[in-house]
Chain A
């Protein structure tokens, strides 16, 4: 694939090609370019490596513990749950960070100054963040296969489930992250708030230990948000059916998983365009300048 379409003179473009599709195609190229850039960025590489290594360390210390009431290693349950967490983290925190930073540095305003530029920008962001999420998943998955060989027993159906849970999880979290990022006053605030939210949800969503061990009202909270369902979906994909016994209701509850994730996706997709448009409409050179001045004050 050639990610940078050379500027084509219009005579070679079909007259009927809608400009929006053209911009969406540019967005795909843009996402690919920015994804490759993130691969050579020491900061982002470092972040991915540190989180991946710490996850592997957690799995290593869990190797002798078993899931309560079964002879299944606790790590075998943690790995899929962590995959769910990675999807939610990349979708939500990634989108929040990107929107908040790119609003401040003028990237959004640049997109606004181009014909159909917002279409290209948003498609590009979805592509680059999704590719980033998939890479993080793969790193942890490959490391996990060595430490938790049970997982490699998942059949084709299991891996397909991983794929759709990932896709649905990204659609459920990316628009939500974009909304939060566009409402935040500063990138630092946005990053802090979203990390705190994901952290708190991780604690109650049965990622590192079974949710059934928690108080009922905490379970209730976890059920509202996508994270618990992402973990559950991943466990249903990679663990033997017998492991469902420790889940709430003794079932993987695939229907409920789809319903909750789709509900978040629909809510996000309905909310995001008007809120993004509203934010984009308020963007102007002097607004960017004012935020830049505030940022400098924070440093100084």
Chain B
């Protein structure tokens, strides 16, 4: 049975047209300008990945959206409210998973989830029951059997799973994840991807995450934003970004024991020509479009260069 049995009825709690709205956001620390006019919107229920090199301002952006930092200038709205000024009712609808937590080391996993979840109980609504049940959540993040464990005895990856569980215990409408899968093994990563899909598909959770794993971004995100030099330099679906920045595909094949590579915009036409000419003589055919990683490197290099 589904660990998220609570997530059956689809709900549309958002009355605003956009979940996240950022316009001309600027942030400077002293002389250093970290954000120089960032702008984007996220629709309710959308999963958006924020990519960018280290120091590009990803964490700063997400912390402003979480209400933990006051921007130097610009307009920011999360569910229609300005995060830095929003009250506890707003806070109850937001979920936060930060980069590093070491807190509550002496608590036991289940008790901590129950305790932190209980803060959300007054904000429960018939359409959106808060909080999630601690045991279901423990199962959902793959910590089954660790409910009685002390938090400081968890491994790095398990601790991160707990962080994710705590981030969603209040059943947020908007969830911010800052490098959620750092330190995950492949199984944990896959579990986490399943969880994100469930939150987004079944619970209409709007999700903004940062990651350095481009494969992950491609799997999870409806849309990708690339932040570089304090600005959004690319905004679109993974597929669209790849097509926009690199039309070329690489075609590899072999004939008479020899291997060939050819770059072309029209891979289908080229392959059709190959078969027309050599027929059964063609082997080891492989057509590879530019990956998100190729695209990302091209975009970031162009911006930095």
In A226-249, the 8 Å CB interface with B consists of none
Contact A10 B63 (CB under 8 A): no
Chain A-chain B contacts (Cβ-Cβ < 8 Å), number: 114
Contact B68 A13 (CB under 8 A): no
Residues on the B chain within 8 Å of A292, using CB: 100, 102
Contact A115 B119 (CB under 8 A): yes
A283 to B, closest residue via Cβ: B68
| A26 vs B70: C-alpha distance when bound (angstroms) | 29
Residues on the B chain within 8 Å of A281, using CB: 70
Known contacts: A26-B115, A106-B98, A110-B103. The answer to whether A19 contacts B88 by CB under 8 A is: yes
- For A34, A113, A284, the residue with the greatest tally of chain B CB atoms inside 10 Å of its CB is A113
Known contacts: A115-B92, A115-B123. The answer to whether A105 contacts B103 by CB under 8 A is: yes
| A283 vs B66: C-alpha distance when bound (angstroms) | 12
User: Chain A interface: which of B16-24, B130-138, B293-301?
Assistant: B130-138
Size category of the binding interface on chain B: 35 or more
In the complex, per-residue mask of A87-124: 1 if CB is within 8 Å of any chain B CB, else 0: 00000000000000010011101101111110010000
Contact A114 B63 (CB under 8 A): no
A101 CB to closest chain B CB (Å) equals 10
Q: Does A289 contact B (CB under 8 A)?
A: yes
Residues on the A chain within 8 Å of B129, using CB: 9-10
Residues on the A chain within 8 Å of B178, using CB: 285
Known contacts: A112-B68, A286-B59. The answer to whether A19 contacts B103 by CB under 8 A is: no
Contact A10 B99 (CB under 8 A): no
CB pairs A–B below 8 angstroms (17 shown): A6-B118, A7-B118, A9-B121, A10-B130, A26-B115, A33-B111, A37-B106, A107-B104, A109-B98, A110-B166, A115-B88, A115-B89, A115-B91, A116-B88, A284-B69, A285-B99, A286-B60
Query: A: which residues have CB within 8 A of B?
Result: 4-11, 13, 17, 19, 22-23, 26, 29-30, 33-34, 37, 41, 102, 105-107, 109-110, 112-117, 120, 281, 283-286, 288-289, 292
